[in-house]
Amino acid sequence: MDFGFNQEQELLRATARKFFENECTSEFVRARMAEPAGVTDDFWKKLAEQGWLGLIYAEEFDGTGLGFVDLTVLMEEMGRAVMPGPFFSTVLLGGLAIQEAGSAAQKKEWLSKISAGQTKTTLAFTEPNARWDAAGITASAKESGGKFTLTGTKLFVLDAHVADVIVVAARTREGKRPEEGLSLFLVPKGAKGLEVKLLPTMDQTRKLCEVTFHEVTVGADALLGAKDQAWGPLSRVLDRATVALCAEMCGGAQRVLDMTTDYAKIRVAFGKPIGSYQGVKHRAADMLVEVENAKSLTYYAAWAMDENVPEAPLAASMAKAYVSDAYRRTAGAGIQLHGGIGFTWEHDLHLYFKRAKSSEFTFGDASYHRERVAQLINL
Amino acid sequence: MDFTLTPEQQAFRERTRAWLKANIPAEWKAIGSTEVPRPEAYVFLRKWQKKMHEGGLIGATWPKEYGGQGLTFVEEMILHEEMALQKAPPMLNVLGVGMAGPTIIAYGTEEQKKRFPEKILTCEEIWCQGYSEPNAGSDLAGLQTRAVKDGDYYVINGQKVWTSLAHMADWMMLLARTDPEAPKHKGITYFLLDMHLPGVTVKPLKQITGDAEFNEVFFDNVRVHERHVLGGVNNGWAVGLTTLMYERLALGFGLQMRLRIALESLIEMARRVEKTGRTITKDPVMRQKIAQLWMDTEALKYTGARAITKLLKGELPGPEASTGKMGWVETHQKLQELAMEIEGAYSQLMKGSERAIDGGVWQYGFLRSRANSIEGGTTEVQKNIIGERVLGLPKG
Q: What is the pLDDT of residues A217-273, one digit of tens each?
A: 999 999 999 999 999 999 999 999 999 999 999 999 999 999 999 999 999 999 999
**CB-based contact, B279 to chain A, within 8 Å:** no
Task: Spell out which residues of chain B touch residue A367, defining contact as CB-CB under 8 Å.
Answer: 288
d(CA A187, CA A214): 13
Query: Which H or E run includes A170?
Result: strand A165-171
pLDDT tens-digit map of B367-384: 999 999 998 788 998 899
Of residues A161 and B276, more confidently modeled: A161
Please answer yes or no on whether B305 and A1 come within 8 Å at the CB atom. yes
- Report pLDDT digits (tens) over A66-82: 999 999 999 999 999 99
Average pLDDT for chain A: 97
Beta bridge partners, B215, equal B204
Q: Is the pLDDT of residue B178 over 80?
A: yes
Phi, psi of B56 (to 5 degrees): 75, 30
**What percent of chain A is helix, strand and coil (3-state, nearest 5)?**
55, 15, 30
Q: What is the pLDDT of residue B212?
A: 86
Per-residue pLDDT, B319:
67
Q: How far is CA B67 from CA A290, B64, B172, in A?
A: 39, 5, 20
Q: Which amino acid is at A331?
A: A
Gap between the Cα atoms of A189 and A337, Å rounded? 45
| The predicted structure's pLDDT at residue B246 | 67
Range in A163-172, A332-341, B60-69 with the lowest mean pLDDT: B60-69
Q: What's the rounded Cα separation, in Å, for the pair B243 and A239?
A: 43
Q: Which domains does chain B have, with CATH numbers?
A: 7-121 (1.10.540.10), 127-234 (2.40.110.10), 239-390 (1.20.140.10)
**CB atoms B306 and A296 under 8 Å:** yes
Cross-chain residue pair B306–A2, CB shorter than 8 Å: no
Under an 8 A CB cutoff, do A261 and B392 touch? yes
Query: Which residues on chain A are in Cβ contact (under 8 Å) with B302?
Result: 3, 296-297, 299-300
Annotated active-site residue B247? The verdict is: yes
Cα distance from A204 to chain B (closest Cα, Å)? 31
Please, which pLDDT band fits residue A332 given cuts at 50, 70 and 90?
Answer: very high
* Among candidate residues B66, B69, B94, the one with its CA nearest the CA of residue B8: B69
Mean pLDDT of B98-104: 91
Q: What is the arithmetic mean of pLDDT over A87-110? A: 97
Model pLDDT, residue B308: 80
pLDDT band at B4 (very low <50, low <70, confident <90, very high): confident
Where do the domains of chain A lie, and which CATH numbers do they carry? 7-88+103-118 (1.10.540.10), 122-228 (2.40.110.10), 232-376 (1.20.140.10)
Q: What is the pLDDT of residue B376?
A: 79
Mutate to test the interface with B, among A10, A76, A266, A293 (most CBs of B within 10 A): A293
Q: Out of A235-244, B73-82, B200-209, B211-220, pick the least confident.
A: B73-82
- Interatomic CA distance for residues B257 and B340, integer angstroms: 21
pLDDT score at A263: 98
* pLDDT score, position B36: 54
Position B33 pLDDT exceeds 60: no
Q: What is the pLDDT of residue B316?
A: 67
Query: Percent of chain A, pLDDT > 90?
Result: 99
Residue of B95, B130, B93, B100 whose CA lies nearest to B218: B130
3-class DSSP state of B105: helix
d(CA B62, CA B53): 12
B384 CB neighbours in chain A (<8 A) are 278, 281-282, 285
Residue of A nearest to B10 (CA): A1
Partners of residue B27 on adjacent β-strands:
none
Whole-angstrom distance, CA of residue B229 vs CA of residue A174: 79
In this predicted model, what pLDDT tens digit does every residue of B253-289 receive, in sequence order?
777 877 888 999 999 999 999 988 999 999 999 999 9
Q: Is the pLDDT of residue A153 over 60?
A: yes
A272: which chain B residues are within 8 Å (Cβ-Cβ)? 394
Q: Give the pLDDT band of residue B138 (cuts 50, 70, 90).
A: confident
Preferred mutation among B72, B271, B302 to probe A, highest tally of A CBs within 10 A = B302
The predicted pLDDT at position B241 comes to: 81
Residues with Cβ within 8 Å of B71's Cβ and at least 6 positions away in sequence, in order, are B12, B60, B61
**Residue A158's pLDDT is what?**
98
pLDDT given for residue B250 in this prediction:
60
| Model confidence at B76: pLDDT above 90 | no
Measured between CA atoms, the residue of chain A closest to residue B5 is A1
DSSP B277: T
Specify the pLDDT at position A161: 98
Beta partners for A157? A209
Compute the distance between CA of residue B257 and CA of residue A56 in angstroms, rounded to an integer. Answer: 36
> Is the ipTM here above 0.90?
yes
Q: Which of residues 5-44 of B touch A (CB under 8 A)?
A: 5, 9
pLDDT one-digit tens code per residue, A193-223: 999 999 999 999 999 999 999 999 999 999 9
Q: Which residues of B touch A289 (CB under 8 A)?
A: 323, 326-327, 386
How far is A209 from A228, CA to CA, in rounded Å? Answer: 26
Residue B396 with chain A: CB contacts under 8 Å: 276-278, 281
Of B76, B213, B247, B343, which one is the catalytic site residue? B247
Planar angle of CA B335, B338, B339, nearest 5 degrees: 90
pLDDT at position A208: 98
CA distance B327 to chain A (A): 7
Contact yes or no for B286/B293 (Cβ under 8 A): no
Model confidence band, residue B73 (pLDDT cutoffs 50, 70, 90): confident
**B320 pLDDT above the threshold of 70:** no
Whether residue B37 is predicted with pLDDT greater than 90 in this model: the reply is: no
pLDDT at residue A377, rounded to an integer: 97
List all residues of chain B from 209 to 268 with a beta carbon under 8 Å from chain A: 267
Give the integer Cα–Cα distance in Å for A41 and A101. Answer: 28
Query: pLDDT tens, B329-373?
Result: 999 999 999 999 999 999 999 989 999 999 898 999 999 999 999
Q: What is the mean pLDDT of residues B159-168?
A: 94
